[in-house]
Amino acid sequence: ELPPQAAVCRCSQPLSGFSGRSQEDEMMLQAVMKANPGSDFIYVVDTRPKLNAMANRAAGKGYENEDHYTNIRLTFIGIENIHVMRSSQQKLIDVGDMRSPSMSDFLWGLENSGWLKHIKAILDAGVFIARAVADEGVSVLVHCSDGWDRTAQACSVASILLDPFYRTIKGLMLLIERDWVSFGHKFSHRYAHLDGDPKEVSPVMDQFLECVWQLSEQFPCAFQFNERFLIAVRAHVYSCQFGSFLGNCEKERRDMRLRERAHSVWPQLWKDRAQFTNPLYQAELSQSQGVLRPNTTPYCFKMWKGLYNHAQRPERPPPPRQSPAVRGESQQLEQELTNHKEGPAGGPAHHHSGPRQAEDDRQPEMSEDPQQGGGCPCCCLTGKREAD
């Protein structure tokens, strides 16, 4: 059973100024550590390569100085930035578009893309966080530069590993709403919904969904959904057909009045859940497994053929006809998601606004109600160390 007082916390990089020190920030991390009496330190997981983090110090940002934060253990994961990922995915897409390639050409293209290396880095971050919470009972603070890309990836993967609830269809929906939508992942910029800076485009959500797929390949009975569900979610991230993934933050979605003017994608996917259900799923086995402990050695990773092999993608079967009962359940799900967005904070997994939160429009509004089922035994603390 997971230690109930170990927390997974998230923020952006420290803004300590040119003095290189912020006593308020040091006191806050001390408070996070003291909230878990079972440990006398916390892990700080910087998801960036160390050289990238060091470069930010020239602007008074960067990472925590362990000489000042005596209660932390700092770890760098080495997930590359959005520009590297954008280039890597394009190379992978080119591999998937090859028709009848030779084995050497295919393997060279896959290796040259570097894509699986990046997927491994993200999965390694989630594994580190999950093991710290589950095995050591230690709280973890996760950040990158801004806290909305690599941080979302690492925390989401950790939640999948820690809690069987997030391996269900409804659980993954709530996880995306919590860690991506409510925490301000820049959907419009990252997936080119509008004419903007092409340098802002990057497959951040794609990589998270692929990490989930890689896990489902290792644990085929632990996930209620199949790869078709993951592909459908990804398709709607780009499609703009629904309002769920429009805008870069909650403020933008409120200003556009998307709740009144657009439909949510989740009830539609819930209606079609018959085609998204994994026939191998065993709920009792998933519960008894508890924390997933994947093998992250390089030979365990594979190309996601169902998504990237465009040349041989099978035809999609027509969706099944829906009964009035199914439509009623879909409406109930939409109401549950609305309640999660508007309800009071509380339950096993909830968010706290810390003193280092800047006046930022990306403050999350979604809390998890234990009556809705599941919920991670660790709580998520958000704090913005710098105004974006």
Residue 40 among known ligand-binding residues = no
Q: How confident is the model at residue 312, as a pLDDT?
A: 57
Structure confidence by residue, pLDDT tens digits, 277-299: 999 999 998 888 889 999 999 99
* CA–CA distance, 234 with 225 (Å, rounded to integer): 14
Q: How confident is the model at residue 319, as a pLDDT?
A: 46
- Which residues, at least 6 apart from 17, have a Cβ–Cβ distance to it below 8 Å? 60
Q: How far is CA 266 from CA 180, 383, 386, in A?
A: 14, 28, 32
Where residue 338 falls among pLDDT bands split at 50, 70, 90?
A: low
Residue 30 in contact with residue 356, Cβ under 8 Å?
no
* CA–CA distance, 174 with 177 (Å, rounded to integer): 5
Q: How confident is the model at residue 356, as a pLDDT?
A: 42
Domains of the chain, residue spans: 8-383
* CA–CA distance, 388 with 385 (Å, rounded to integer): 9
155 among known catalytic residues: no
SS3 164: helix
Residue 19 among known ligand-binding residues = no
Instruction: Inform me whether the pLDDT recorded for 357 exceeds 50.
Output: no
Structure confidence by residue, pLDDT tens digits, 132-173: 999 999 999 999 999 999 999 999 999 999 999 999 999 999
Residue 385 among known ligand-binding residues = no
Q: How confident is the model at residue 292, as a pLDDT?
A: 97
Residue 146 among known ligand-binding residues = yes
Q: How confident is the model at residue 288, as a pLDDT?
A: 86
Q: How confident is the model at residue 99, as a pLDDT?
A: 86
Structure confidence by residue, pLDDT tens digits, 247-282: 999 999 999 999 999 999 999 999 999 999 999 999
Residue 155 in contact with residue 131, Cβ under 8 Å?
no
Residue 148 among known ligand-binding residues = yes
Where residue 16 falls among pLDDT bands split at 50, 70, 90?
A: confident
Instruction: Inform me whether the pLDDT recorded for 314 exceeds 90.
Output: no
The DSSP string of 359-386 is S-TT-------GGGS---SS-EEEE-SS
Residue 144 among known ligand-binding residues = yes
Question: What is this structure's pTM?
Answer: 0.81
Which region among 29-43, 163-177, 185-199, 339-353 has the lowest average model confidence (pLDDT)?
339-353
Length of the chain: 388
Q: Which of 9, 144, 211, 380 is catalytic?
A: 144
